[in-house]
Structures are given as C-alpha cells and as structure tokens.
Amino acid sequence: MTAQIILSAKGVVKDLGHGAGMVRALKGVSLTLNAGELTLLMGPSGSGKTTLLSILGCILTPTLGNVTVGGESVKGLGPEGLADLRRRHIGFVFQSYNLFPTLNALENVRLALDVRGMHRQEAHVRAEKALRDVGLSHRLRNYPRNLSGGEQQRVAVARALAGTPSVILADEPTAALDSENGQAVMALLSQLAKDKSRAVLAVTHDSRTIPFADRIVRIEDGLIVGEERRTESRENISKIDVTRKRKAHV
C-alpha cells in the first residue's frame, strides 16, 4: 500500500541575496514527506537544510519549483496566504524552545492557539491534552525556569502538536539537550509520527537520532545526495537509493 504524501517539494531552487552577492542555497531539491513517518534531514553546515526547512514550513517561497502541503500549493501565495497555510498545516519545534518565561507550560501552549483565534475554552482543553500527550500532565502550572531542558522541549512539542498539524517540522530538536533528554524527545517525535494523518521531519546533524527515524535524507551543497530507509524491523538501516552523483546545477 502506497503511503499518503502529506508534503511534496518538486525542483525547489532558492536564491538568497542579490546581484554579485547572490547565493544559490538550493539547486533543485525534490522531497516528499509521507504520513506515518519520521524523516531526518541531515547535512553539514551550509548544506541548505535550514533553508529547505523554511521553505517546507511556508516561511520562505522557492525561487523556482513548487511545494504542496496537504494538497495545497504555495504558488502565487503572498505573506498572508503562506501564514494561513502554515497555521493550518505546520507545527514547528525549535532548538531553543522559544518559550515565554512569564507563562507557565499550559499558557505557553494555549497562547499558540489563542493567536489563531481559537475560543479560549477550546484552546485550554486542547493545550491541556497536548501536554498530557507529551507526558507533562503533572507540569501544567510550572514555568520554564522550573522545567528541565527536556521538559521545556516537550512543552515546545506540545505547542506544535496542539494545532493538530499535518506536518511537524523540528529544527535541531536535540542540540540543546543531553543524551538522555535528547533520546526522550526523539522517542516522542517517533511516536507522534506513527499517526497516519501526520508526517514528521527533523533537521539534525546528531547521529544519535538515527535509530528513531524511518528515513534519512542527506543534503550537501543544496542538493539531495542520498536517502536511507530503515528496515521494517527498525533494527538495521539499509540504503535503498544512495546516489552520490550530483545533479546538474539548475
């Protein structure tokens, strides 16, 4: 049975800057995210992975190519249209948590729903459920200063989850965490990815995240250079389509 494609990028090119200072950060990237999968996007600094994440998250638009999320294309969308698509389909998890220090865990998650115009009571219920889903039902009233790094990242995951996104995009979600907390967060993202209506993508250079992935996509110099998929047993990683042949630059 073919997996449902939640997000698709085709022939994405992204130029940054202008004139003599212009840099082609992405050189024709095609990528799909499938429902029920956790995909890792791995590559060295300057490889284009953060730029690609911003385009997949409808923060930036491609110079060339197209992105569709939930069957909706970004072509022709201005800032308001991109923001609407982002609100309805995308949940972000950041390396630095981005929690408000003066708000407790429940308020931090609820705020993300309040700004979407959700009724206060519904926002409260959904925020509380999201925190329960990430194992923080006992930390609802705690402020970030009273939470461990791992717990703060779980609040950030709950905030992304509360809007019931079809895609969760995580930018270096383990970078600020020790090994134990990093593995706990990756286990959580892996569990969330089992939802057949959702895809999860994590941008990372942390090799310790690999055992949690269904698929690993490698990017270098603005090009996808390889893909690895785990076996169904999830015990070994088998390379199914690793090509080091560089495509012609667009």
- 67 contacts 55 by C-beta, under 8 angstroms: yes
| Per-residue pLDDT tens over the stretch 187-216 | 999 999 999 999 999 999 888 899 999 999
- 144 contacts 98 by C-beta, under 8 angstroms: no
pLDDT at 233 over 80: no
pTM: 0.86
Q: How confident is the model at residue 1 (pLDDT cuts 50, 70, 90)?
A: low
Q: For 88-103, what is the mean pLDDT?
A: 92
**What structural domains does the chain harbor?**
5-97+165-241 (3.40.50.300)
| 3-state SS assignment for residue 148 | coil
Q: How confident is the model at residue 118 (pLDDT cuts 50, 70, 90)?
A: confident
| 3-state SS assignment for residue 217 | strand
| Per-residue pLDDT tens over the stretch 35-92 | 999 999 999 988 999 999 999 999 999 999 999 999 999 998 999 999 999 999 999 9
- 170 contacts 202 by C-beta, under 8 angstroms: yes
